[in-house]
Amino acid sequence: MQTVLISGGGIAGPVLAHWLRRHGFEPTVVERAPGPRAGGQAVDIRGVALDVVERTGLLEQARSLRTHMRGMSVLAPDGEEVERSTEATFSSGRLDSDDIELLREDLVRMVHEHTRADVEYLFGDSITALAEHGSGVRVDFTHAAPRSFDLVIGADGLHSTVRRLAFGPEERFTHHLGSHLSVFSADNFLGLDDWQLWLRDGDTGFGIMPVRGNTELRIAFGFASAGPLARTPDSADVLRRLVVEKLTALRWNGSRLARAAAEAPDFYCDAMAQVRLDSWSRGRVTLLGDAGYCPSPLSGQGTSLALVGAYVLADCLGRARGAGHDGDRDTGRDGGHDAGHDGGRGLDHATAYADYERRMRPFVDLNQALATENPGGPASEESVERAKNALSLDG
């Protein structure tokens, strides 16, 4: 049985692990956090990604966890309502759509619970080195003893460790989109009842939605920026102070929002960026989801790309099992690594990775384009509809 190490225990990694098990592989998931991560914004499962969730056996559970919004208000900088809708929200699109909006932490918990009985998880650990050899990849960990795997998959997000170790520095592949996004929780001090608020004030703005039976708020605050801050041990604190400062300057509820950001235990802030690589694979290593093709939250399609990518990658690897021939061959795809058949072990990983990229790249390109179609606002309904359905799961 071929072994596969997946770095990243969020959404893409566990879903990939589920489908790899179905195809006869032995997956292991390593995740830096001590358990499934809490916090985060609401995410969307749209179009063909709904088919992935249904095939995984989780569609009804996902539907039971969806948000229930009645509509939204758009506010002027002083808090005066200038627009309202009971048909759609900026976060989820049309309220009568079959698409599902749910909290990221609920989806993370759901896919973990669905896979934990059949998948080995290494929580609280991370990869420190990768060394490819003739029949696999030796992996060093921060805590666990070194092990060898037939394949390594990086599903570890925008700041992927696997991508850095296998492909090079992050700045080669990330493209800043001119803003930062902060997400954090607070008590429902605004008394919102299944109703979202959106406000723009100069080069800053926010979206606020109530969750957990209207007991809690999820606040997404964005602001223009020239580029990402250097990642240092104190960069998270620097970003929090910057967000607090910018929130304080808001004319409507600025001080209350700033206090919530300062006190939030789940505070998050990062640059809005896309990941673009000429190839997602190098030797026995490939990338999945945000690690390989992050569309940024501005697209609204990061979760759907992760789900679809996981299914397609597992399908391509499953089809390639038993397709190889005895002996090794060097296709030259990766500048020296053996990227060919798996030495008689029955896995043609090079063909699988090539098929994965052939099937996914047009879908990725359409969905990444959603983030830049309408700077400062959402992409058109027509563009979203086309992009979310632009792939067949059956190849």
At residue 387, the pLDDT reads 98
The verdict on residue 185 lying in a domain is no
Question: What's the mean pLDDT when you consider all of the chain?
Answer: 93
The verdict on residue 68 lying in a domain is no
Do residues 218 and 255 make contact, with C-beta atoms less than 8 angstroms apart?
A: no
For residue 345, name the pLDDT band (cuts at 50, 70, 90): low
The verdict on residue 228 lying in a domain is no
Kindly report, residue by residue over 224-266, the tens digit of the pLDDT: 999 888 788 899 999 999 999 999 999 999 999 999 999 999 9
Long-range pairs for 134-138: beta carbons < 8 A, 24 or more residues apart: 134/328, 134/338, 134/343, 135/342, 135/343, 135/345, 136/3, 136/284, 137/5, 137/283, 137/284, 137/285
Do residues 2 and 26 make contact, with C-beta atoms less than 8 angstroms apart?
A: yes
For residue 334, name the pLDDT band (cuts at 50, 70, 90): very low
The verdict on residue 157 lying in a domain is yes
Kindly report, residue by residue over 134-144, the tens digit of the pLDDT: 889 999 999 99
At residue 344, the pLDDT reads 37
φ/ψ (deg, to 5) at 87: -110, -25
The verdict on residue 270 lying in a domain is no
The verdict on residue 367 lying in a domain is yes
> Which of 27-41, 163-177, 319-333, 368-382 is least confident?
319-333
At residue 145, the pLDDT reads 98
Domain of 162, CATH number, reads 3.50.50.60
Alpha-carbon 89 to chain mean position: 21
Q: Which domain holds residue 310?
A: 3-46+103-173+276-388
How many domains are there within the chain? 1
User: Is 70 exceeded by the pLDDT of residue 327?
Assistant: no
- The percent of residues above 70 in pLDDT, for the chain, comes to 94
The verdict on residue 239 lying in a domain is no
The verdict on residue 209 lying in a domain is no
